[in-house]
Structure 1
Amino acid sequence: METKIVTLAAFHVAGYRIEATVEEFEAGLRQNLYDKLIENKDEIKHRKNDQVLLMQLYPSHEDFNAKVDSFTHVLCYEVNVPEGMPPGMIIHHVPARSYVTCTHRGLESEIGDTYDYVYGQWLDDTGHVPECYDFEIWDERYQPDSVDNEIDIYVALQS
Structure 2
Amino acid sequence: MKVELIETTEITSYVGIRAHSTMTNLGSAVHSAFQQLTKRRDEINNVVDRKVTYGITPPNYKGNDGMLDFYCCYEVKSLTGLPHGMVHIHLLPRLYSVTHYKGPASRSSSAYDFTSKWLSDHGYTYDDVSYYFERYDEMTVIENDDESNQIAIYCPIKKK
Give the TM-score range, shorter chain.
0.7 to 0.9
Distance in structure 1 (CA, Å) of the matches to 2:110 and 2:134: 14
Residue 16 of structure 1 deviates from its aligned partner by 1.1
Opposite residue 5 of structure 2, the aligned amino acid is: I
Q: Tell whether 2:56 aligns with 1:59.
A: no
2:19·2:30 contact (CA, 8 Å) conserved in 1? no
Residue 92 of structure 1 deviates from its aligned partner by 0.6
Opposite residue 129 of structure 1, the aligned amino acid is: T
Aligned to 2:134: 136
CA distance 1:121–1:69, shift in 2 (3 Å) = farther
CA distance 1:140–1:91, shift in 2 (3 Å) = same
Q: Tell whether 2:93 aligns with 1:123.
A: no
Opposite residue 149 of structure 1, the aligned amino acid is: N
Which of 103, 106, 119 pairs up with 2:103?
106
CA distance 1:23–1:103, shift in 2 (3 Å) = farther
Opposite residue 104 of structure 1, the aligned amino acid is: Y
Residue 130 of structure 1 deviates from its aligned partner by 1.4
Residue 127 of structure 1 deviates from its aligned partner by 2.4
Residue 99 of structure 1 deviates from its aligned partner by 0.5
Aligned length: 153
Q: SS state of the match for residue 108, structure 2?
A: helix
Distance in structure 2 (CA, Å) of the matches to 1:69 and 1:152: 26
Instruction: Note the 1:1-159 alignment, pairs <5 A.
Output: 1-8=1-8, 9-26=10-27, 28-50=28-50, 51-59=52-60, 64-65=62-63, 68-118=65-115, 120-132=116-128, 133-144=131-142, 145-158=145-158
1:105·1:147 contact (CA, 8 Å) conserved in 2? yes
Residue 125 of structure 1 deviates from its aligned partner by 1.1
Residue 69 of structure 1 deviates from its aligned partner by 4.7
Distance in structure 1 (CA, Å) of the matches to 2:44 and 2:97: 29
Q: State the Cα RMSD in Å.
A: 1.8
Distance in structure 1 (CA, Å) of the matches to 2:29 and 2:19: 8
